């Protein structure tokens, strides 16, 4: 069994590598969530990644909180962590 695992919502690449403003984090997540049904019918894992040394400051924490609220409100999302995800797939195999 394989699961698509994507890393588009990552503070390191969006903010540090590409120089986007912190709001890009939430904007990218919103665009993916709002268009997920038209992109693929195959389930995938969207890894929302923040690093303490990048978004562990007020501006990053604000955007991370906005992003989590956005994901929680959407009906097709399941917020979890890596351990829960691994357990779910271990049970399925």
Confidence of residue 6 (pLDDT cuts 50, 70, 90): confident
Which residues partner with 10 through β-bridges?
49
**Rounded to whole angstroms, what are the CA distances from 34 to 38, 50, 77?**
9, 21, 11
Contact in structure between 13 and 7 (CB atoms under 8 Å): yes
Full domain range(s) for residue 70: 4-92
Centre a 10 Å sphere on the Cβ of residue 8 and count the other Cβ atoms it contains: 14
- pLDDT over 90 at 88, yes or no: no
pLDDT tens readout for residues 22-39? 999 999 999 998 888 787
Number of domains present in the structure of the chain: 1
Residues 70, 30 contacting (CB under 8 angstroms): yes
């Amino acid at each position: 069994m394989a699961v698509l695992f994507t890393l588009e919502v990552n503070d390191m690449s969006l903010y540090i590598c590409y120089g986007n403003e912190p709001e890009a984090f939430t904007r990218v997540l919103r665009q993916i969530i709002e268009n997920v049904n038209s992109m693929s019918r195959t389930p995938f894992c969207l890894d929302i990644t923040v690093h303490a040394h990048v978004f562990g400051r007020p501006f990053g924490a604000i955007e991370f909180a906005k992003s989590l609220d956005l994901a929680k409100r959407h009906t097709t999302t399941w917020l979890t962590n890596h351990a829960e995800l691994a357990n779910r797939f271990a049970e399925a195999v």
